[in-house]
């Protein structure tokens, strides 16, 4: 397959981001904040992928400009951590969460994030 025929899939990245958020959430409840060192990277990844999932035109360097606009699980858990606990603003991620609410299940490991994390108060 030549480079111009490739299509970038955001779903696998979405699964990785959701898994990272769930691991971080579990650690947080055990008194550890594992996102500290990588926090900027995780926030950037959430914003980058949410932007394209919402429909922004992909630049040619990104999968030949062709991305499939699926992201897998919603980023509700990560959004609530960053907004409620750290005060960080993630506008693309916020817009994506609002567009995909209420979150259902991906049939794998993510289910009903809106119920447990929407408008969560700071810890």
* pLDDT on residue 75: 85
Q: How many residues can be counted in the chain? A: 123
**What pLDDT, on the 0 to 100 scale, is given for residue 46?**
92
Cβ atoms of residues 45 and 17 within 8 Å: yes
**Residue 8 main-chain phi, psi, to 5 deg:** -85, 135
Closest C-alpha among 1, 5, 8, 2 to residue 67: 8
- Compute the average pLDDT of residues 53-76: 84
User: Is the pLDDT at 94 greater than 80, yes or no?
Assistant: yes
**Which residues, listed in sequence order, are joined to residue 120 by a DSSP beta bridge?**
none
Tell me the three state secondary structure of residue 102. Answer: coil
Instruction: Please give the DSSP secondary-structure letter assigned to residue 85.
Output: I
For residue 49, the surrounding DSSP H or E stretch is helix 39-53
Residue 108 is predicted with a pLDDT of 58
**Among candidate residues 86, 7, 108, the one with its CA nearest the CA of residue 42:** 86
Rounded mean pLDDT, 26-39 = 81
At 105 the pLDDT is 62
CA distances from 48 to 85, 104, 117, 123 (A): 21, 23, 22, 27
What integer pLDDT is reported at residue 107 of this predicted model?
Answer: 64
């Amino acid at each position: 397959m030549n480079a111009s025929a490739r299509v970038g899939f955001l779903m696998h990245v979405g699964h990785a981001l959701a898994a990272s958020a769930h691991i971080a959430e579990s650690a947080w409840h055990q008194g550890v904040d594992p996102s500290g060192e990588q926090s900027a990277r995780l926030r950037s990844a959430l914003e980058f992928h949410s932007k394209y999932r919402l429909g922004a035109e992909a630049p040619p360097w990104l999968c030949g400009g062709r991305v499939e606009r699926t992201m897998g699980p919603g980023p509700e858990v990560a959004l609530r951590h960053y907004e409620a606990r750290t005060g960080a603003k993630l506008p693309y991620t916020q817009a994506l969460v609002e567009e995909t609410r209420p979150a259902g299940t991906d049939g794998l490991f993510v289910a009903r994030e809106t119920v447990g994390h929407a408008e969560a108060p700071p810890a």
